[in-house]
């Protein structure tokens, strides 16, 4: 090791071994990233020659009321989906941790929704929440309540989307929490028991603090995922795509940031503006991650 100058080429087999990831990343990660940054300063319909647009696309973005609407929608849907979901996941994980039999079966069942095709899931939920013939409304009417126009209202659309996202990811997060719970040594619980702590006290004073790193992980992952919600509203309101594709439904209540990006770039052939939106989304996700990090870092102290 000492003295001799190391020739990087000596390690070529190792470089070759790790190269697939970097080559794929360069082609499908780095290049699109750089190209869309370049595109955000240009005007391009996807086929004609590209023309320089300066900061026009970003000026449009700042003034775009629809983009603001999409940002607000995304944040609301994300909160509505993530907060109840993580609490439910934690509850499910604790329950899973305390069952003695069929544990693997429960794990499989919990994990199943997250590996189900999202298109199938959304089509299924669309039928359940149908304004007229949906199961939810039929149940409501059967118990004497009036049906709700789920797919029409500003809040109801967001509820439907949040329910879909919760259904799909609650089990996945529960499994992660369960893994975290397994790592907590039984001695800590025994000590708590000896000190006379009840189940609730044990949960808040032992389980939650010790699970903190895992919770932070799920919050960050859910934030990044939730900020990029796309397929759910795209499929949910795909039926009226002929005249106004990917609009996010009535009142554009289901228009998320990424769906708006998709609509502008791919339906309207406005790739320059699409790229500007993509960087707007990036900035917002970065800000949220920063906030998350600051909050959790402070709590750590």
Partner 1 sequence: MNLSRRNLLLGSGLAALGAGALSACSTSAGGSGGSGGGSTSGLALWYWNGGLSDKVVEASKTQFPKDDIKPNKVGGDFKQKLQTTLTGGSFIPQITGVKGEDMPFFRSVADKFTDLNEFGAKDIAATQLAWKWAEAQTEDGKQLGFPIDIGPTATFYRADILEQAGLTSDPTAVAAATSTWDDFYAFGQELHGKVPASFPVPSLATVFQIIVGQLTNRFVGKDNTFTGGSDEMKQAWDTTVKAQALGINANAGQNLGPALAAGTIAMDLGAAWHALDISDAAPDTSGKWRIANNPVKPTNFGGSFLTIPSATEDKQAAFDVIKWILSTDNQGQAFTDATIFPADPAAWKLPALTGGDEFFGGQKTIDIFGPAGEKVPEQYVAASDSAVSAAYYNELTNVEANGKNPDQAWTDAVAAAKDIAQRQGVK
Binding site for partner 1 (CB under 8 A): 27-28, 31-32, 35-36, 39, 43-50, 57, 60, 63-66, 118-119, 130-133, 149, 151-154, 230-231, 234-235, 237-245, 247, 249-252, 258, 261-262, 265-271, 273-274
Quick one: 69 or 88, whose CB is closer to partner 1? 69
Q: Is 116 left (phi over 0), alpha (psi -120 to 50) or beta?
A: beta
**Residue of 269, 156, 164 whose CA lies nearest to 225:** 164
DSSP state letter for 206: I
Smallest separation (angstroms) from partner 1 to the CB of 45: 7
Whose Cβ is closer to partner 1: residue 182's or residue 239's? 239
Element (H, E) at 104: helix 103-111
Which residues, 6 or more positions from 255, have their beta carbon under 8 angstroms from its beta carbon? 66, 69, 70, 73, 233, 247, 248, 249, 263
Least distance (Å) between residue 218 CB and partner 1? 22
Q: Which is nearer to partner 1, 96 or 236 (CB)?
A: 236
Nearer to partner 1, 84 or 130 (CB): 130
Q: Which is nearer to partner 1, 203 or 282 (CB)?
A: 282
For 37-62, the DSSP string reads HHHTTEE--SSSPPEE-TTHHHHHHH
Q: 3-state DSSP helix/strand/coil percent for the chain, to nearest 5?
A: 75, 0, 25
The CA distance from 205 to 202, in Å, is: 5
Categorise residue 19: left if φ over 0, alpha if ψ from -120 to 50, beta otherwise: alpha
Distance in Å, CB of 159 to partner 1, minimum:
15
Closest approach, Cβ 117 to partner 1, in A, equals 9
For partner 1, the closer of residues 7 and 242 by Cβ is 242
Strand partners, 45: none
Q: How far is the CB of 152 from partner 1 (least distance, A)?
A: 4
Between residues 118 and 184, which has the closer beta carbon with respect to partner 1? 118
89 vs 264, which CB is nearer to partner 1? 264
Tokens of 233: 């509203």
Residue 150 beta carbon to partner 1: minimum distance, rounded to whole angstroms: 9
| Secondary element (H or E) of residue 154 | helix 154-183
CB of 17 to partner 1, least distance (A): 25
In the complex, the smallest distance separating the C-beta of residue 262 from partner 1, rounded to whole angstroms, is 5
User: Rounded CA gap, 128 and 167, in Å?
Assistant: 13
How far is residue 226's CA from residue 77's CA, in Å, rounded to a whole number?
8
Kindly list the distances between the CA atom of residue 91 and the CA atoms of 8, 47, 178, 220, 300, in Å, as whole numbers in the listed order: 52, 52, 10, 19, 23
């Amino acid at each position: 090791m000492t003295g001799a100058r190391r020739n990087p080429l000596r390690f070529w087999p190792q470089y070759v071994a790790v190269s697939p990831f970097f080559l794929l990343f360069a082609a499908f990660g780095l290049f699109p990233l750089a190209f869309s940054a370049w595109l955000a300063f240009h005007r391009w319909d996807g086929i004609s020659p590209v023309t320089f647009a300066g900061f026009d696309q970003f000026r449009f973005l700042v003034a775009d009321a629809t983009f603001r609407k999409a940002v607000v929608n995304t944040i609301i849907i994300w909160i509505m989906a993530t907060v109840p979901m993580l609490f439910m996941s934690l509850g499910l994980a604790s329950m899973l941790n305390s069952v003695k039999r069929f544990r693997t079966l429960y794990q499989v069942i919990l994990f199943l929704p997250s590996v189900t095709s999202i298109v199938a899931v959304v089509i299924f939920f669309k039928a359940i929440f149908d304004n007229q013939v949906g199961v939810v409304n039929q149940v409501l009417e059967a118990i004497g309540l009036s049906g709700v126009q789920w797919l029409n209202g500003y809040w109801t659309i967001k509820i439907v989307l949040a329910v879909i996202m919760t259904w799909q990811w609650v089990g996945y997060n529960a499994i992660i929490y369960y893994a975290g719970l397994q790592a907590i040594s039984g001695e800590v619980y025994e000590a708590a028991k000896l000190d006379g702590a009840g189940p609730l006290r044990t949960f808040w004073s032992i389980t939650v603090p010790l699970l903190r790193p895992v919770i932070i992980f799920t919050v960050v992952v859910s934030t990044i995922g939730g900020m990029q919600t796309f397929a759910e509203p795209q499929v949910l309101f795909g039926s009226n795509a002929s005249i106004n594709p990917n609009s996010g439904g009535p009142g554009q209540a289901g228009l998320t940031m990424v769906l708006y990006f998709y609509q502008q770039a791919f339906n309207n052939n406005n790739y320059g503006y699409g790229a500007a939106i993509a960087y707007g989304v990036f900035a917002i996700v970065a800000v949220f991650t920063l906030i998350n990090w600051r909050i959790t870092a402070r709590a750590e102290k």
